[in-house]
Structure 1
Amino acid sequence: MALLLLSALFNIYETALRGQVMSDEGLQEAAAMAKVADKFANVKSNTIMLTANSAERAVDVRILPFDYNLGNNTVSFSTEIPARQEVIDDFLGGLNSLRIFLEDTNYSNEFDSIHTDINTLTPVDWGGTDRNVSFIALPQCMKFSILDQNTITLKFVCADYNYLSITRQDINISFTPANSFDAISCSFNSSPSCPDNDFNAQSPLPYMEIALGSSACPSCSLPQRARGHFDPAYESYVRIRCSDGNCSPVDVNLNEGIAINYGGPRIRLGLGLQLDSDIMELLFSDLNLAVSDIYFGIRRWRD
């Protein structure tokens, strides 16, 4: 009987000990999952996420190739066109410097043992060829891109949303003394005219207003604006030009998205958008991020 009692006590102790080990391992794994999640959120916040917080935004715009403002269902961008390539290169260079720091094994082992893997664009002065940048608003999948210095685009890249998700868009173009525009031509809904119509909240079609700021351009002679509702399925565009043909035109194409192309002396461009749903995130889209704890096999990533 004593032997059976001792055997039973030993089995109880062994079971309790095994349970304690499993409990400790479970707690350690849960802690590791929390650490991975926290680091992923921290790295994401510091590499790809643009915030609506005014203090954080003020820091972000120091290195971004544009200024921006983000509201519940609104977003605006302000930049120059042609873009300053050195600003884009500095932005990408800063991201790559941060990538090297975060991926450093010694740093990881010393502080948290969490591995970080980042893939992003490489600028020319880092030995790469990337010169374009894109940012995306989610969940609408609305992508804002600066391409080849002379082109700025905005388009929807997911099936669930399209140009009709934009309720209103405002494009503000400010000219400088270096410009001499004196002519404008339009096509709206395939009609060869520049409209001047008020916003109608009952219309299911997106509304666009292009405001032309020429007060700083004594050689410019242009109307103040072109505005109206339009059907993205039809060709709609605005072309700002010089009647003598001696300047590079500003082309604004509104067919299934916005594409603005211009290659002359720099002008200031503002793009404001109001959507029919809230924006949850505004992210740099050209960066893949993965954070992992190799020991526990825990991994979080964003492609």
Structure 2
Amino acid sequence: MAGNTSLVDFELVQQSDEQIFTVQVLVMIFLCINLLLITTFFQKQCFYATTRYILFAVSLLSDSLLLFLSDILLLLANYNVVIQVWLCVIICVVTLVYTTVTPVTLTAMTLERYVAVCMPLRHGELCSSRNNVNIVLFIHALSSVPCIVILSTIFGSASLKFYTQFQLCAVEFLFIYLWQQHLRSAISQFYFLIMLITVVISYVKIMKVAKAASGEDKQSSRKGLRTVALHGFQLLLCLIQLWCSFIEAALLQIDVVVFYHVRYFNYILFYLVPKFLSPLIYGLRDEVFFHALKKYVSFGLYKGNNIG
């Protein structure tokens, strides 16, 4: 198995204490900011009754959980802590699902803006409080499909004894055959292609509405256009993360030392930084959410915009 043959070499490589400390500081900053944004979300009833804020909260929770688990895996790998494969499978299931939840949620947020701008008369019906739970459930169901397919190939090719073995935990180490990595790549690229097409089509249609609109409608359309552009940028960052995993999987077969250092570099630049910036940017650029955040941070002293 690819994972077992790489394990001995993998144990020879460790990041420096300074590198690990840097990651922990970044992770703590990100989680604290996310906790602040999530707490602000629950401060106002208008937030958890509005679809776009609910989807924003879903993305925050998804990124926080994913970052926490990935940091745990990073620490386990760096200090050569092995765990049983069955436990690793559970961790990887959650990781795989929520790796997909974030871009799917961004796509759903794009569609919500598309409906708000291009189909304003149906926005209240499609994005009602009754449908919000269904939307969140559908996002998670759709995000679980790639994980189910990948896991079915692992369960079908591994014996029961495999799950009682001890090894370092990473999704790549669970693949027994190379075609399983190719299947994961194909499914991920298909998902991202569909999501990218959805964002581009929504952007084009909103742009047409923005050109034809006037007055307040034109201002609202332009704001929706900027929001969709931001979601497209965030989706692009998710796509870069996807390519990183493919490059790392190839490097693992060639040189485990290079694999380890490239993975650390990718983790900082394409994983931590985007997850640090994108929720903060989205939370600050929304006027209603920004005023609520300022009021919460100032312990109620800020009276700028009394909402909800």
TM range (shorter): under 0.3
Q: TM-score, normalised by structure 2?
A: 0.26
Higher strand content, 1 or 2 = 1
Higher helix content, 1 or 2 = 2
Larger Rg: 1 or 2?
1
